[in-house]
Amino acid sequence: MTVLSRGPERTRVARLGPATALWRPRTVVVCALLLLALAVALLVALSVSVNFVPPARVIATVFGHGTPAERLIVGELRMPRALVGAVVGLALGLSGALFQSVTRNPLGSPDVIGFDTGAATGALVAMLFAGGGVVPTSVSAVLGGVCTAVLVLLLAQRGRSVAPLRLVLVGIGIGATLAAVNSMLIVGAQVYDAQSAAVWLVGNLAGRGWDRLVVLGPVVAVALVLALLVGRSLAVAEFADDRAASLGVAPDRVRLLAVGIGVLLASAAVATAGPIAFIALAAPQVARRLTRATGPNLLASGLTGAVFLVLTDWAAREAFQPRQLPVGVLTGVVGGLYLIWLLGREWGASRPGAARGGRL
């Protein structure tokens, strides 16, 4: 294998026979550190609570050497919720990175352009009119997300291609309409069903068990592999269409494939935990700042989303004892503060004299 350094971002080309792969040392290091941070976040979520379990005992329990009480607390109550949170955060981070790359817009996340709302509509129909259940809710959410995506893509078409800015604007409009539909569904439901649906719409990981992980895990694993396979072509498709075509990439086809994978990831996450806000929007931006690399930064975005959701769910579970907040409340607060900080930073950078004095 030969490794060559090229470009200002220190991209390296690894060659093994006829196969080549591009990688950046900083991105590899960031992903490794994010994996370590995810392991630490999972350990904190399994250990630190009202009923504290020492980290050494948590590790022993994970490997099958815990006491019956530890197996109940760690293995049956905390571990499924933490792992579901990690997989949902991974799915949301990946989905946000895909959509932001397709739209070439930092606001192009599935919760902004309506795909999460469409998946929530499908899940609400299953919950309120078909008795709920893991499989019917999941299938209905995916169908809702797919139908919303098809509608948005059809309305966003300009000629034979999809205009990225038009995609964002149409998606925002469709999302607002579907949010009104969701409110109508809740208002027309029975009181108990309406209360459960309203809590679910905030985004919640409480009560998520192994059955959810069995359904969600394979879907996200397959979508992750597909996303990584399309990632290199998607990075090229971020250029102007004529330049991407000159490099051997069909931009419209790549974007359509990326949208399909992103819709699958977002719909699976919504079906499992409800429409959790801001992770799909913020995780790719944080990952890009950590790696300082161009392109979609898929793996780093997914790991950032996983770490963020596991930690925020643990905080929502423990910070307000004896009550627990839905995790969507806390991600909304943190995401809102992040957006305020980001807008303030950009405003400071755009002020006269900012180039001389540096960014605030």
Share of the chain above pLDDT 70, in %: 84
Non-local CB neighbours of 173 within 8 Å, separated by 6+ positions? 114
Pairing of strands 11-16, 19-23: antiparallel
What's the mean pLDDT when you consider all of the chain?
A: 82
Give the C-alpha distances (Å, rounded to integers) separating 199 from 31, 71, 306. Answer: 33, 29, 22
Write down the pLDDT at residue 37.
Answer: 96
How far, in Å, CA of 34 to CA of 309, rounded? 13
pLDDT band for 128, please (50, 70, 90 cuts): confident
DSSP secondary structure string for all residues of 24-91: -HHHHHHHHHHHHHHHHHHHHHHH-SSS---HHHHHHHHTT---HHHIIIIIIIIHHHHHHHHHHHHH
Measure the CA angle with vertex 165, ends 161 and 170; round to 5°.
90
Write down the pLDDT at residue 239.
Answer: 66
* 68 token code pair: 């019956």
Write down the pLDDT at residue 169.
Answer: 85
Write down the pLDDT at residue 243.
Answer: 67
For residues 290 and 304, the answer to whether their CB atoms sit within 8 Å is yes
Write down the pLDDT at residue 8.
Answer: 45
Write down the pLDDT at residue 310.
Answer: 95
pLDDT band for 1, please (50, 70, 90 cuts): very low
Write down the pLDDT at residue 247.
Answer: 63
Write down the pLDDT at residue 50.
Answer: 85
- Of 345 and 185, the structure prediction assigns the larger pLDDT to 185
Write down the pLDDT at residue 357.
Answer: 43
Write down the pLDDT at residue 160.
Answer: 65
For residues 53 and 73, the answer to whether their CB atoms sit within 8 Å is yes
3-state helix, strand, coil in the chain (%, to 5): 70, 5, 20
* 45 token code pair: 């979520």
Write down the pLDDT at residue 334.
Answer: 82
Tens digit of each residue's pLDDT (9 = 90 or more) over 257-303: 888 899 899 988 998 888 898 899 889 989 988 988 887 889 999 99
Tens digit of each residue's pLDDT (9 = 90 or more) over 87-97: 999 999 999 99
Write down the pLDDT at residue 95.
Answer: 93
Domain-wise residue ranges, the chain: 84-292+301-346
Q: How confident is the model over 124-141, as a mean pLDDT?
A: 82
pLDDT band for 85, please (50, 70, 90 cuts): very high
Write down the pLDDT at residue 352.
Answer: 62
Q: Is the pLDDT of residue 208 over 70?
A: yes
DSSP secondary structure string for all residues of 124-167: HHHHHHS---HHHHHHHHHHHHHHHHHHHHHHHEETTEE-HHHH
Write down the pLDDT at residue 38.
Answer: 96
Phi-psi region of 292 (alpha: psi -120 to 50; beta: other; left: phi over 0): left
Q: Is 218 helix (H, G, I), strand (E, B) or coil?
A: helix
* 279 token code pair: 């992770």
Handedness of CA 234, 240, 244, 249 (dihedral sign): positive
Q: Is the pLDDT of residue 222 over 70?
A: yes
Q: How many CA atoms lie within 13 A of 150 on its CB side?
A: 6
Tens digit of each residue's pLDDT (9 = 90 or more) over 10-30: 655 455 444 445 567 888 899
How far, in Å, CA of 229 to CA of 101, rounded? 15
Write down the pLDDT at residue 39.
Answer: 95
Q: Is the pLDDT of residue 195 over 60?
A: yes
Write down the pLDDT at residue 248.
Answer: 62
How far, in Å, CA of 99 to CA of 71, rounded? 40
Lowest-pLDDT choice from 62-76, 219-233, 336-350: 336-350
Non-local CB neighbours of 189 within 8 Å, separated by 6+ positions? 128, 197
Q: How confident is the model over 42-56, as a mean pLDDT?
A: 91
Write down the pLDDT at residue 51.
Answer: 86
Tens digit of each residue's pLDDT (9 = 90 or more) over 302-340: 999 999 999 999 999 988 888 888 898 888 888 778 778
Share of the chain above pLDDT 90, in %: 25
CATH fold of the domain at 84-292+301-346: ABC transporter involved in vitamin B12 uptake, BtuC (1.10.3470)
Q: Is the pLDDT of residue 227 over 60?
A: yes
For residues 275 and 5, the answer to whether their CB atoms sit within 8 Å is no
